[in-house]
Amino acid sequence: MKKIINSTEAIVNEMLEGIVKAHPEHIKRVEGFNVLTRVNSPIQGKVALISGGGSGHEPSHAGFVGKGMLDAAVAGEVFTSPTPDQVLEGIKAIGSDKGVLLVIKNYSGDVMNFEMAAEMAEMEGIKVDKVVVNDDVAVENSTYTTGRRGVAGTIFVHKIAGAAAEEGKSLEEVQKIAQKVVDNTRTMGMSLGACTVPAVGKPSFTLGEDEIEMGLGIHGEPGTHREKLSSADELTEYMLGKILEDMSIEKAEEVGVIVNGLGATPLMELYIVNKKLHSLLEEKEIKVNKTLIGNYMTSLEMPGFSISVIKLDEELKRLLNAEADTPALKEI
């Protein structure tokens, strides 16, 4: 195993310290916990958003802490859900008079631990609500989930719900908008190979030289099948087809898309995927309103990519294009 680390035990702590030192204008750390918050938290008069999960998905989730997105991110060990006490400290650190929304990816550990933290926060008088993201169209009831997995489409939830909160909407309103994002977002991913969890020290699975895994999860969980490597255009057409089979998008409707790298895919290759993606949507007379390309929800050093599509109405379009200022997403 080749990793640029000091020790497996120190990875998360040292990473979080490095993030804070790189982005002091956006982020501060809750002392003694794996929790990063906006520098001006808590912000009264605004619903606060918190998300998180296992480390190894950077820039998710700390990279999206800042104006227009998250108020806090909680980091577990690599590919391991943060514990309820860590999540609770995050909730307490950002709790405002308008309440806190938990954005949870649909993995059993995340759902259980975030819900336990929410119960404890409510006992302390903090108003809490949640949304569970399950955008993956590949598999149902996977290794770590009941129902579909929450993957890169979570970024759309952070962005749109975060913008709604920034406008001063109530907790009920922000939760309703976040749920609308979940209901209208779908994702499909593929991989050219495995990643290596530092504590394990070896790749999580093996593929042949010309073999890919289609539909895998962001922790390397099995997908739908393995097949021979084909062209970027063929992969994109297959994956978008699976996404659109699961959505109802009419001609002239608008979408947002994410072409997401899993950690080791060059931007050059993601742009090639994006070229075909736009071409296919244009053929269907579906208008792309917003395109995000890059590493947003990674799997350590895994080679591969995912495509996320969100169907937009006027409200979602406005919020998706609202101002954001975070380490990993700076847009107006």
Which H, E and C letters describe the chain, residue by residue?
A: CCCCCCCHHHHHHHHHHHHHHHCCCCEEECCCCCEEEECCCCCCCCCEEEEEEEECCCCCCHHHECECCECEEEEEEECCCCCHHHHHHHHHHHCCCCCEEEEEECCHHHHHHHHHHHHHHHHCCCCEEEEEECCECCCCCCCCCCCCCCCCCHHHHHHHHHHHHHCCCCHHHHHHHHHHHHHCEEEEEEECCCCECCCCCCECCCCCCCEEEECCCCCCCCCCEEEECCCHHHHHHHHHHHHHHCCCCCCCCEEEEEEEECECCCHHHHHHHHHHHHHHHHHCCCEEEEEEEECCCCCCCECEEEEEEEEECHHHHHHHCCCEECCCCEEC
* Active-site residue, from 23, 26, 57, 61: 57
Q: Check 26, 61, 158, 219 and give the catalytic one.
A: 219
Left, alpha or beta for 56 (phi > 0: left; psi -120 to 50: alpha)? left
Q: How far is CA 190 from CA 13, 93, 167, 226, in A?
A: 30, 37, 36, 10
Our answer to whether residue 219 is catalytic in this structure is: yes
**Residue 26 known to be catalytic:** no
**Annotated catalytic sites, by residue?**
57, 219
